[in-house]
Structure 1
Amino acid sequence: MTLHPSVAAVRVPVRATLSALDPGDVVAVACSGGADSLALASAAVFEGHKLGLRVVGVTVDHALQPGSAGQADRVVTQLATIGVDETLTARVQVDGSSGLGPEAAAREARYAVLEEVADRLSARLVLLGHTLDDQAETVLLGLTRGSGGRSLQGMRPAFGVFARPLLGVRRDDTVTACQVEGLEAWDDPHNDDPGYTRVRVRRRVLPVLEDELGPGIAEALARTADQLRDDTALLNELATAALDAARRPEGLDVEVLAAQPPALRHRAIHAAALGAGVPPAELTRRHVLEVDRLVVAWRGQQWVDLPGHVRALRRDGLLVIEGS
């Protein structure tokens, strides 16, 4: 019997991701019950068991919607039917006072609990079900926010214990794969709520771009992310070397920094500010450029106030970034 193309489209990258593991290793699959994560879980069971892996299905209940606990129970039942070796439900408390938006706060809570689950299970990998469509939406959102290369490179295929095998797979394929395999996917109401920017991008913006500019927009955006990720990795490596060369016991050597190209100098300042305690979400390009003026356009200005009660100033030929 010929394997359906959509099922193959999901299984092939999952097989490639899992092939680096050893028999007996544990792999966890984060599953919300949506088509993407459900197709991922099914592929992980099929490919993982062939490799002698232990596959654990994990569902996270964010408690943000009525009936969320019941939905988590349904996902656990589905995961058991698919054939995972163990199921696990984690309930998290989303901190609405963190200053993050609801999506970001939920994501932060979810990743934190998944890391705890990975530690508890001694899992080699935690698989996430983000697709090429998710990647395209992320890149487009980064572009509209003017966030630079860090945002335009989109979601990483792997970081820490996490891996995203489906970043090259279209959402239509995960939906079709579930249908072919007889899996009933859950449609999260949040995915249709136009109050969320990402939903508007998904439902309105990307379809308009496809209609007006032709097909392949999502693939092009994802391809851009791949290219920028390689470029950014190299620039970050060079910037780290520049920052290390400028370090002195009391600060950063201004002459060494000033000799660097702007792309490296700005990245070095950004990293130094984060290292001094500036919250990443609050550090903007405007802050970095203001600090950069202390290096390349100093006219005796006193200091630059940064988020997190941090201050940057120039003292005795050094750039000093410290708590204010």
Structure 2
Amino acid sequence: MGPHPAVAAIRLAVRRVLHDVLTLTPPASVPSAAGDRSPLVLVACSGGADSMALASALAFEAPRLGIRAGGVTVDHGLQEGSDLRASEVAIRLASFGLDPVETVTVTVGRDGGPEAAARDARYAALDAVADRYGAAAVLLGHTRDDQAETVLLGLARGSGIRSLSGMATASGAGGRYRRPFLGLDRQTARKACLAQSLPVWDDPHNTDPAYTRSRVRHEALPVLEKALGKGVVEALARTAQLSRDDADALDSWAAAVEPSVRDDAGGLEVAGLFALPPAVRRRVIRRAVIEAGSPAGSLFARHIEEVDRLITGWRGQGAINLPGRVAVRRQGGRLVLRQG
């Protein structure tokens, strides 16, 4: 008799990712204590159902493929007793046979709001651990439901097609971060934990209406499903993939055409830009602005639209000041970008 269907589903999802990691990854740069240089894959685990199910699947599948498996839990220090919970999660990860297992305590800043600041601190910690061990990949427990929430948030913010593309199955430098569960719903992960008698922790922040994502999860999506019927989550996740395909194609087009509108001084030729389709032109502008020193995470659609008006709505306006102290002005048929 085989495993519970939910357990089989999570293991298959992880197995597929590990096969991909195995074919693309050289031996680990940092061997185990016993000198084993086989690839190391880490799982980021908060103790919630999604990441706990992911950790259990990694622990089961990795040894069968000759891959070492470890775990990381991040203590954000935002709730009373968070250090004790992090220690409990680390003990559970070790009980699965994961090695190494690390608990990392971070200080959450304020930039971009509490959710963004916590995410930035978490990824910085995961990057540091992965670099230290030479890990081939870090698995994250985002599900199809998380993807739907991300798309809905992007739609509400009017952030464009790249935002609608949601989370990628692989992201970060060299595709370090992998999301095996993007094709599975949240209930499958929870059922897998129940079937394996795995204790899980339900983060109260996930139900706190003070957080935007929590309101989307518990208020906006249920209203949409009530009005439109079941299948909204699946449709939004499908929108993410279609949008990602389109955004990738437009990004490739912009990268290919950018040299043709660049001048020797690093500026952009207005006539060449004007001839491009708007979606491609704005991508070229964004690439140039980032290269000039503007932080990608601080650039929004409104910034790029202001620069675009120097091309399409020129009335002699002055320089556009962008994040990172980058100024863009139109001068003699060129866009001049300077950081000062």
Match of residue 188 from structure 2: 173
Give the superposition deviation at 1:133: 0.5
Instruction: Describe the SS at the equivalent of 1:248.
Output: coil
1:135 is the counterpart of 2:147: yes
Instruction: Describe the SS at the equivalent of 2:73.
Output: strand
Match of residue 43 from structure 2: 29
Are the aligned partners of 1:243 and 1:257 in contact in 2 as well (CA < 8 Å)? no
Match of residue 31 from structure 2: none
- Most deviating of 37-46 and 266-275: 266-275
Report Cα offsets for 1:255-299 as digits up to 9, x if no partner.
211111111111111221222222334423232222122223323
- Residue type of the partner of 2:156? T
The TM-score with structure 2 as length reference comes to 0.91
Match of residue 18 from structure 1: 18
Match of residue 154 from structure 1: 166
Within the candidate set 217, 229, 232, 1:202 is matched to 217
For 1:301 and 1:68, locate their aligned partners in 2 and report how far apart those are by CA, in whole Å.
Answer: 52
Match of residue 238 from structure 2: 223
Are the aligned partners of 1:30 and 1:127 in contact in 2 as well (CA < 8 Å)? yes
Q: How many equivalent residue pairs? A: 322
1:91 is the counterpart of 2:105: yes
Match of residue 75 from structure 1: 89
- Residue type of the partner of 1:9? A
Match of residue 56 from structure 1: 70
Report Cα offsets for 1:168-193 as digits up to 9, x if no partner.
11000111100100100011111111
Cα root mean square deviation, aligned: 1.4
Match of residue 164 from structure 1: 179
- Most deviating of 146-155 and 242-251: 242-251
Are the aligned partners of 1:27 and 1:124 in contact in 2 as well (CA < 8 Å)? yes
Give the superposition deviation at 1:33: 0.5
1:211 is the counterpart of 2:223: no
Are the aligned partners of 1:242 and 1:257 in contact in 2 as well (CA < 8 Å)? no
For 2:215 and 2:312, locate their aligned partners in 1 and report how far apart those are by CA, in whole Å.
Answer: 42
Within the candidate set 232, 237, 250, 1:235 is matched to 250
For 2:71 and 2:299, locate their aligned partners in 1 and report how far apart those are by CA, in whole Å.
Answer: 37
Instruction: Describe the SS at the equivalent of 1:88.
Output: strand
Report Cα offsets for 1:51-86 as digits up to 9, x if no partner.
011100111111111111100110011112222132
- Residue type of the partner of 2:103? T
1:259 is the counterpart of 2:271: no
For 2:75 and 2:294, locate their aligned partners in 1 and report how far apart those are by CA, in whole Å.
Answer: 31
For 2:302 and 2:46, locate their aligned partners in 1 and report how far apart those are by CA, in whole Å.
Answer: 38
For 1:129 and 1:316, locate their aligned partners in 2 and report how far apart those are by CA, in whole Å.
Answer: 51
Match of residue 123 from structure 1: 135
User: Within 5 A, what are the aligned runs for 1:273-312?
Assistant: 273-312=289-328
- Residue type of the partner of 1:212? A
Give the superposition deviation at 1:95: 1.4
Are the aligned partners of 1:242 and 1:260 in contact in 2 as well (CA < 8 Å)? no
For 1:84 and 1:281, locate their aligned partners in 2 and report how far apart those are by CA, in whole Å.
Answer: 34
Give the superposition deviation at 1:44: 0.5
For 1:88 and 1:130, locate their aligned partners in 2 and report how far apart those are by CA, in whole Å.
Answer: 20
Within the candidate set 240, 246, 271, 2:261 is matched to 246
For 2:166 and 2:16, locate their aligned partners in 1 and report how far apart those are by CA, in whole Å.
Answer: 21
- Residue type of the partner of 2:102? L
- Residue type of the partner of 1:169? L
For 2:154 and 2:74, locate their aligned partners in 1 and report how far apart those are by CA, in whole Å.
Answer: 26
Report Cα offsets for 1:206-228 as digits up to 9, x if no partner.
11211221111101100000011
Match of residue 336 from structure 2: 320
For 2:184 and 2:105, locate their aligned partners in 1 and report how far apart those are by CA, in whole Å.
Answer: 29
Instruction: Describe the SS at the equivalent of 1:166.
Output: helix
Report Cα offsets for 1:133-159 as digits up to 9, x if no partner.
100000001111111111110011101
For 1:212 and 1:181, locate their aligned partners in 2 and report how far apart those are by CA, in whole Å.
Answer: 36
For 1:16 and 1:253, locate their aligned partners in 2 and report how far apart those are by CA, in whole Å.
Answer: 46
Report Cα offsets for 1:85-128 as digits up to 9, x if no partner.
321111111113xx211111111011111111111111101000
For 1:230 and 1:170, locate their aligned partners in 2 and report how far apart those are by CA, in whole Å.
Answer: 22
Instruction: Describe the SS at the equivalent of 1:200.
Output: helix
In percent, how many aligned pairs have the same letter?
A: 54
Q: Show structure 1 runs of 5+ residues with no match.
A: none
For 1:304 and 1:21, locate their aligned partners in 2 and report how far apart those are by CA, in whole Å.
Answer: 44
For 1:3 and 1:241, locate their aligned partners in 2 and report how far apart those are by CA, in whole Å.
Answer: 49
- Most deviating of 67-76 and 239-248: 239-248
